[in-house]
Structure 1
Amino acid sequence: MSLVEEIEGQVTIQISGMTCSNCAARIEKSLGKIESVHEAKVNLAIERASVRYNKRKININQIINKIEKLGFGANIYKDLQKNQSDYRKLQVRSLRNRFLVSALLTLPLLWTMLSHFSFTSTIWVPELFLNPWFQLTLATPVQFIVGMPFYFNAFHAVKNRSANMDVLVVLGTSSAYFYSHYLTVNSLSSSIANHHIPLYFETSSMIITVVLLGKLIELKARSKTLKVVHRLQDMGKKEKTIIRDNISITLPAKNIQVGDIMMIHPGENILIDGEILEGNSAIDESMITGESIPIEKGLGDKIISGSININGLLKIVAIKTGEQSTIARMHEFIEEAQVSKPPIQRAADRIAGIFVPIIVCLSLFTFFIWYFVINPGELALSLEHAIAVMVIACPCAIGLATPTSIMVASGKAAENGILFKEGSHIEALDQGTIIFLDKTGTITEGKPSVTKVVSMNVSELHLLRMAAAVEIYSEHPMAKAVVKAAKNRKLILPDSHSIITFPGYGISGIVEGSKVIIGTKQLLENEGISIYINHREVQQLQEQGKSVLFVSIQQKFAGMICVSDTLKQNSITAINLLKQLRLKVVMVTGDQDYTSKLIAKEVGIKHIYSNALPKDKGDLVRQCQKNGENVIFVGDGMNDAPALAAANVGIAMGTGTDLTSAAADVNLMKSDLMDISKAAKLSTKTMRNIKQNLSFALIYNCIAIPFAILGMLEPWMAGTAMALSSVSVVSNSLRLQKLKLSN
């Protein structure tokens, strides 16, 4: 572990009390000012912050205290994670109760509005409802009990030299309430009959009620977007009976350890990654990979957590549990994607940051223009129009435009077996201009087989036996093919040692006292070994699509092993779909020219880079980036890791190694090239959805504010429009859940 890793910590914090993007921006700004905090990202939609900090200089409690001083609630997310769905339900219940109380008290005040308009003046209104003191009695608890959180949040916002939606709500409702309060008290010495006094208690109460209703609808809609995360959390809570040290124990899934044995009955969820010891069954992996057709599995096959056993009794052994299991990694990826911010959201946050001060200035302008110019001396009318301007403006819609779409999209992607590490990668994928596809395991099945063994001065079996003894230490698909061929011939592999891997070239080791080298022709030549063989024969094998591995034993050329791979079923269709997305498709491989060209021609790829080493792949990506390209790289092998890390978006196939997965920005749970086109389609649709949300939010404000300035909207109507604008943005984001990604 490096020194940087030792001193850098990361924590996810659940935050309560945020009402708009300005709240999130304020928290980010305050945490960013702390010298020991390296990065703070706050997501309004899921009310969560991700903070990277120096563990030696600051602790988590100090970070939480800083957030609480800003007027927000803060808890470590892991402490709440187990009861996250309960926390959401509590939020909904609390908000619903506040709304119901507010609505109950506001209804009589709303009834009095019927007397304000000539076309409703014939409708009966109880005399009591018109009494100013009765209206004051109803409006006061709405304003100062139900509405107290607005005051609390507005106070802390102003205290920290900021402004948010709460400031607008407090200014608007307080103006209406206190002006009406003044008229009510003044009526004691007035000769005007009480019920003729033009009061605005219904305006202040109605605004608070409507805003609460909008927040309630918005919270319920946002909860729907987290259904994938909740499903994954519920899986982790389930209990399972396991056999450990020949003793039967029942315990939660998170406490199962590697090596534990368990029986999986038909219809049961599989809670850990494991290997089948006994039995056969059809396994439904649709929740993890998006593949709707169950897969038949038996002895020795791997099964992944989150899948369902359909029809057979299975005995399995745990190989990945807890945070290392597939379902835990999915959960982690989804949450990281939802907390992160794509560049387009940062632009929206900057707009929202200056929005509230501008609206306050416009509200003051409206008051003065009406009071001194349009209707001189009409205080009540001028105040009413100023309140409407203040209340109709909605920074919430701008702040929610991006995170809600990212939240829904990351969940939709997970349902289809596509895991984005960050929300920014959804945007980056949409901006891709060129896509590099590794050959083995990406375009081809990655399960090659040995088709021919050509030996020189040794027997074919001896050559295969010696080569397999070294290749057994390699994860490369061709190495596995050599080992499998030796085992199929029932060869007993001798021990080997001093293994050295040459990425992109091959491998060497000592077997029975002899140095064995297997790999490319260039590797053997670099080691000073002369290759005596008919080069035309080699060329013919390569033209047939076979990859040729050269073998030397004790510094003497011993022969060749020919390996061939087959195309994946969907490769040609998937590559055509990528072309339709206006991506330049390039195949890059460490294989020889002839083999590469044959595969490329078969799948319709015109641009090829062969004989590419891991460093070459990375250099190629960087060169394209210098030329202005946004590069997408798709691979599955350890030798693809440098290119995956260097690309604008790195995509790791489902068969990839842990290193490949760590280097990639997007992980596919299946090794299906079609999922790349699905991911690209989702990113395009998501960015379009975000732009629709932002356009709606900005156009809404640009149209609504002038109407309010011109006095064409009542304050309660303005409040309703403001609440509905946020609900509309969330509802539009939810449309992504219905998106069909299959082509």
Structure 2
Amino acid sequence: MAERVDIRIHGMSCASCVGRVERALGKQPGVTDAQVNLAAEKATVAFEEHANPSQAVHAVIEAGYQPVIKTAEIPIIGMTCGSCVSRIERTIEKLPGIVQSSVNLTTQKVFVRFLPDAVTLQRIHHAIRDAGYEPQDLGENTQAEHEDREGIQLRNKVLLAAAFTIPVVFIAMGKMIPALEAIFTSIMPHRGWMSIEWLLTTPVQFYAGARFYRAGFAELRHANPGMNSLVMIGSSAAYFYSVAALLAPGFFPAGTAESYFEAAAVIVTLILLGRYFEHVAKGRTSEAIKKLLQLQAKTARVICDGDTQEVPIEAVVPGDRILARPGECVPVDGIVEEGHSYVDESMISGEPVPVLKQKDNEVVGGTINKNGALTFRATRVGADTVLSQIVKMVESAQAEKPPIQKLADKIAGIFVPIVLAIAVITFSVWLGFGPTPALAFAFVTTVSVLLIACPCAMGLATPTAIMVGTGKGAEMGVLFRKGAALETLAKVDTIVLDKTGTLTLGRPELTDFVVLEGQENDLLRWVAAVEAQSEHPIAEAIIRGAKERGLGLPSISHFQAEPGFGIEADVDGHKLNVGADRYMSRLGIELGKAEERAAALAREAKSPLYAAVDGKLAAIIAVADPLKVGSTEAIASLKAQGLEVAMLTGDNRATAEAIARQVGIQQVLAEVLPDQKANEIKRLQAEGHNTAFVGDGINDAPALAQADVGIAIGTGTDIAIEAGDVVLMRGDLRGIVNATSLSKRTRKTILSNFVWAYGYNVALIPVAAGALYPITGFLLNPILAAAAMSLSSIFVLANSLRLRRFQPLSPVRQESKPGLLETQVHA
């Protein structure tokens, strides 16, 4: 069975880096797919069978990048011989993400190297226990786990580079100002100041800028130059040109033996500063994941033999009895066995009002217990909890590339070689035709071209917007299982909705109880008592309606059912008959004006029944599958966005059209069998429509898969995670409005990012090459080119982060469960 492994990678800076890593991974045996997300700094690798991460890790290193690998030493109790060693090693190596495992029988420890994004130390800990041994120490420094080493290293390099670069710039600029030049030359000659610049620039170039050389040489070695190559070549050209001008000025034409040490130092410092800002901003794009992870409890109170013990959350297993005290976070998913309390489920439902939980109700890990103690049985723990599934879903969407990003990667793959060719042409033209000193002009313009064209902003344009967009969607209860869906949904022009369970609640409810003669409560409890002997869904709705009103059901006698007509029984000394109009006609009971009222109810897609007491008509009963709260508002909002809305259902046309009229849908596809729903979607696609199908995610799976975007309706913890491209966590259709609005905003952000990134390069490369010089005398300084390149990346990141301010267009509430108290009761 195929496995997917996530590898976090440091050192990538642009789209060409992404392409290099993907190609390196794709060449490895057994790898079927490799996708790299620049913003997340993560590669997702799919293997044919059992994953072999060690080869993938080696491929990343060979490509010139640094995979994030963690190490741990875990003491183990219970090992006695060599077979114990091999058993533990085999068990650990079966886990995805294990690079190396080595067990030492003498020291009673296992040494593990693993990929933290593919497997956790807690999972390794659990595997050792499953093998029959007892790990004693997780060997993990929690603070170090969360320490931002990359950010700290970048910050320190920036500070060091700035400390050396500022005096270099002061010296270089001072020599150009006539008033200061006399002071400088009175202290030491010009070449002496050049020597000081050399000493100050060298640590900036080769220590602070070492990352550019490591990655740049790797890019060139693989014949795939990228951003690091451009920075390395540009800054090195300035540095070594200056060194040669200092040590051998006689080799240069007159007037060209000048130093550009300040350009080399400033280039490295500015680009490092830009990388640091990018790192900080990229960290902010994943804040939604961090917020979700913060909801997880660290410990749980497990009840064992009457005693309560506080244990790490990783130690909880399904079946454990857990105590949740007032004010505590519910640690895992489970079923309440004792107690009652209100629980804040806003992280799942978005509903701010706490929900009452009592015996047999389900609780979800990460929700907050408010005012009472709950004892519940754990049902889902670890990666199986609803919260973990949400986190995994969002991470998967952020890691996947939408079509526009794949196109961008291809463009970036050929962009850098084109830039290098332009740089060579620029140098040749200025050297051959430029004014005196031609070599100096050729050098300045070539370095400027190399720096201005770095494709960093291109590589960040899509993934940062996708990360922020999917994170924002998760906050609103809209989960994008695929990053591509966020882009594709923006192009959809037709929304097709299933009826049952999507527009409606999906189960019959008692909607009308029209009393014609007698006491309402007595009639309802008698009817419910009779219907309790039936297994018909309509009977269940009537019984549920009576119970929600708090009515007890009396005992009955002489029960008799006539299939297709109705039922008869004796209740509390009365003979009760409940059934359709034909049953009443058979009994000789006149319907009169009640028949008109029943016909009106039927036109509203309700199923009318009659109840007679002692041979007299007493009540009209109506049962229907009612619309969900917000359905009508959602349809109106989708139409306001310019979308066509259709309904697809297996129900008869009369019922379907009655529901469609209520919500404002004109196009109705009725009496469609489940296996024909996908064909209807195909037909719409053949007519040129980009379609999104909205269904419950189980019976509608073929249609969800066939549509351009499948939107699965999830309710509470029953999320159909594998059903669609998008999952609405709540049963409220207004989530579709928010999903389409967010997707359009995200796509607009991506396009504006590309307009900036590509427009910036197209506009400024000719300027850097000196196209304006013959007309205006303006020549772009390499320092300004480096600053502009960094600002371009920061602009793209800032533009993507604006998506965090997106506000839902429609308020979404957890779906209500209307019963008799919420229906029209006519006395």
Q: Shorter-chain TM-score category?
A: 0.7 to 0.9
Residue matched to 2:118:
78
Checking the alignment, whether the CA contact within 8 Å between 1:425 and 1:665 is kept in structure 2 is: yes
Give the match's secondary structure for 1:198. coil
Q: Which range moved further: 673-682 or 483-492?
A: 483-492
CA–CA distance in structure 1, aligned partners of residues 180 and 767 of structure 2: 26
* 1:733 counterpart letter in structure 2: S
- CA 1:60–1:336: 2 relative to 1, 3 Å: same
Once residues 590 and 346 of structure 1 are traced to their aligned partners in structure 2, the CA distance between those partners, rounded to angstroms, is 39
Q: Distance in 1 between matches of 2:184 and 2:672?
A: 84
Relative to structure 1, the CA distance from residue 460 to residue 235 in structure 2 (aligned partners, 3 Å threshold; closer, same or farther) is: closer
Corresponding residue for residue 554 of structure 1: none
Q: Please state how far the C-alpha of 1:700 moved relative to its aligned partner.
A: 0.9
The partner residue of 2:170 within 111, 133, 148 is: 111
Measure, in 2, the Cα distance between the counterparts of 1:591 and 1:462: 28
Partner-residue secondary structure (3-state), 1:467: coil
Alignment gaps of 5+ in structure 2 = 70-114, 123-141, 514-526, 555-560, 566-580, 587-594, 610-620, 771-777, 811-827
Q: State the distance in 2 between where 1:659 and 1:232 align.
A: 17
The answer on 1:626 being equivalent to 2:690 is no
Residue 57 (structure 2) aligned to one of 55, 64, 70: 64
SS at match of 2:330: coil
The residue aligned with 1:25 is 19
Aligned match of 2:272: 212
Q: What residue number does 2:212 align with? A: 150
**Where does residue 467 of structure 1 map in the other structure?**
535
Q: Deviations over 1:260-279 (max 9, x none)?
A: 23333333222322333444
Alignment of 1:347-362 (within 5 A): 347-362=407-422
Which deviates more from structure 2 when the two are superposed, residues 731-740 or residues 244-253?
244-253
Deviation digits for residues 433-475 of structure 1, max 9, x if unmatched?
111112223222335325799xxxxx9968754526xx7xxxx
SS at match of 1:661: coil
Q: Which residue does 1:718 correspond to in 2?
A: 785
Q: What is the aligned counterpart of 2:749 among 643, 664, 689?
A: 689
1:521-600 to structure 2, matched below 5 A, reads 542-546=602-606, 563-600=623-660
Contact 1:636 1:655 in 2 (8 A): no
> Residue 639 of structure 1 aligns to a residue in which SS?
coil
Match of 2:155 among 86, 91, 96: 96
Aligned residues: 677
SS of equivalent residue, structure 1 residue 575? helix
Any idea what SS the aligned residue of 1:638 has? coil
Over residues 9-39 of structure 1, what are the superposed CA-to-partner deviations in whole Å (9 max), with x where a residue is unaligned? 2111111211211011111123233463211
Match of 1:557 in 2: none
**Percent of paired sites with the same residue:** 37
SS of the equivalent of 1:135 reads: helix
Report which stretch shifted further, 626-635 or 89-98: 626-635
1:42 Cα deviation from its structure 2 partner: 0.5
- The reply to whether residue 409 of structure 1 matches residue 409 of structure 2 is no
1:339-373 CA-to-partner distances (Å, cap 9, x unmatched) read: 00000111111111111111111112221222211
- Give the structure 2 partner of residue 230 of structure 1: 290
Separation in 2 of the partners of 1:712 and 1:307?
61
Task: After superposition, give the CA deviation of every residue in 1:661-697 in whole Å (9 maximum; x if it has no partner).
Answer: 3111111111111111001100000000000100000
Q: Distance in 1 between matches of 2:278 and 2:217?
A: 24
Question: What is the deviation of 1:208?
Answer: 0.5
Letter in structure 1 aligned against 2:53: I
Calculate the TM-score normalised by the size of structure 2: 0.75
2:806 corresponds to: 739
1:465–1:486 Cα contact (<8 Å) kept: no
Q: Equivalents in 1 of 2:416, 2:193: separation in Å?
A: 36
Is 2:51 aligned against 1:49?
no
Structure 2 residue matching 1:242: 3-state secondary structure: strand
Give the letter for the 2:17 counterpart. Answer: C
* Cα gap change, 1:600 to 1:657, in 2 (>3 Å): farther
- Alpha-carbon distance in 1 for matches of 2:637, 2:798: 30
Name the aligned partner's letter for residue 98 of structure 1: K
Instruction: Give 3-state SS (helix, strand or coil) of 2:447's partner.
Output: helix
Q: Compute the displacement of 1:399 (Å).
A: 0.8
Q: Which amino acid aligns with 1:268?
A: E
Indicate yes or no: 2:259 matched with 1:171. Answer: no
Please tell me whether the aligned partners of residues 168 and 261 of structure 2 are also in contact (alpha carbons under 8 angstroms): yes
Query: CA contact under 8 A between 1:636 and 1:657: conserved in structure 2?
Result: no
| Larger helix proportion of the pair | 1
Q: Given the alignment, which residue of 454, 465, 470 partners 1:394?
A: 454
AA aligned to 1:78 is A
CA displacement, residues 453-505 of structure 1 (integer Å, 9 cap, x when unaligned): 9xxxxx9968754526xx7xxxxxx797488579889899xxxxxxxxxxxxx
Give me the TM-score of the superposition, normalised by structure 1. Answer: 0.83
Q: Contact 2:21–2:63 (CA<8 Å) still a contact in 1?
A: yes
Report the CA distance between 1:729 and its aligned residue: 0.3
Measured at CA, do residues 252 and 591 of structure 1 come closer, stay the same or move farther in structure 2, by a change above 3 Å?
farther
Among 761, 774, 785, the alignment partner of 1:701 is: 761
- Give SS of 1:679's match: helix
For residues 484 and 244 of structure 1, the distance between their equivalents in structure 2, rounded to whole angstroms, comes to 37
CA distance 1:614–1:709, shift in 2 (3 Å):
same
Instruction: State the 1:636 CA deviation.
Output: 1.7
**Structure 1, gaps ≥5 residues long:** 1-5, 454-458, 472-477, 493-513, 519-530, 550-560
* Equivalent residues of 2:697, 2:704 under 8 A apart: no
- Partner of residue 528, structure 1: none
Letter in 2 for 1:390: L
Residues 83-124 of structure 1: CA distance to partner in whole angstroms, max 9, x if unpaired?
Answer: 799456111101101111111111111112323544885796
Which of these residues, 422, 427, 442, is aligned with residue 482 of structure 2?
422
CA contact (8 A) 1:85 1:230 kept: no
Contact (CA 8 Å) 1:28, 1:42: kept in 2 or not? yes
| Aligned partner letter, 1:110 | V
Say whether the 8 Å CA contact 1:235–1:271 is kept in structure 2: no
Q: 1:174 to 1:102 in 2, by over 3 A?
A: same
Q: Which moved more, 1:45-54 or 1:630-639?
A: 630-639
Range moving further from structure 2, 214-223 or 709-718:
709-718
